[in-house]
Amino acid sequence: MRYTIATLALAALIPVALPAAAQSTAAVPILPEATVLDVVATGEVSRVPDVATVRAGVVTQSPTAAAALADNASRMERVVAALRAAGVAARDIMTANVGLSPQYRYGENQPPAITGYQASNTVSVKFRDVAKSGAVLDALVKAGANQIDGPQMAIDNPEAALDAARVEAVKRARARAALYAEAAGLRVDRIVAIGEAGEDRGNNPRPPVLYARAEMASDAQTQVLPGETNVSATVTVRFLLK
């Protein structure tokens, strides 16, 4: 007598389309009396992020558009110079946004009147030494930056962590398959196919925007703490039960 488990896919000799990332694409012959068990499992490991990405820039206002842009460009030059003086490589500094917009005054029963213009310039900065990023942010504020957004923590080369998560996922799948097989009065004979369903490379969502003013900078230093981030991988494993 063969057993079936309603919460899992148990089938005999039913062709199933495997994911594109499956480890084996060749059809594996399965005996008609065999029982097949599909298990989806996720493996997760924790790592300390080694890259912090921050958006920093300058917002200025002037009566005319030309003056707003010129003032903004002058201040932004000092900000970029501060980044380079801190040792940030050119490849890690990228313009994220340049903007210019009119500012309006609204009166009752009157059309909006332009009172001036606001210019903004923001760069995305990748810090490869997270421990030093707080001091660099302080230097940016002193150089004229009045807009800071971040940091977003990440693992620069997550492949080793992903491989560890994949191994953990397969171990969990095997343990779960053994549990269900024992409950059904069967045993795990072998793995028929493995497919990778998804992965999480350990990037954290970006926090809300933080605005700062250079004149408010004090002797206290900004700290950026990396903490830990989780890296996960999900696999689909097909087992043959007997």
Q: How many separate domains does the chain show? A: 2
Q: What is the pLDDT of residue 219?
A: 59
**Full domain range(s) for residue 29:** 9-47+166-201+233-241
> Please, how many CA atoms are within 13 Å of residue 25, restricted to the half-sphere of its CB?
3
Domain boundary among 99, 130, 154: 154
Q: Same domain, yes or no, for 69 and 42?
A: no
Q: What is the pLDDT of residue 30?
A: 57
Whether 219 is covered by a domain: the verdict is: no
Q: What is the CATH number of the domain that holds 111?
A: 3.30.70.2970
The more confidently predicted of residues 30 and 171 is 171
pLDDT in tens, 194-206: 999 867 776 654 4
Question: Could you tell me the pTM of the whole model?
Answer: 0.65
Residue 17, pLDDT > 50, answer no
Whether 175 is covered by a domain: the verdict is: yes
Q: What is the pLDDT of residue 223?
A: 79
Distance CA 120, CA 97 (A): 8
Whether 29 is covered by a domain: the verdict is: yes
φ, ψ of residue 80 in degrees (nearest 5): -65, -40
Where residue 164 falls among pLDDT bands split at 50, 70, 90? very high
pLDDT in tens, 77-135: 999 999 999 999 999 999 999 999 999 999 888 888 999 999 999 999 999 988 888 88
Distance CA 35, CA 78 (A): 69
C-beta separation of 60 from 144 below 8 A: no
Q: What is the pLDDT of residue 207?
A: 40
The more confidently predicted of residues 4 and 153 is 153
Q: Same domain, yes or no, for 92 and 145?
A: yes
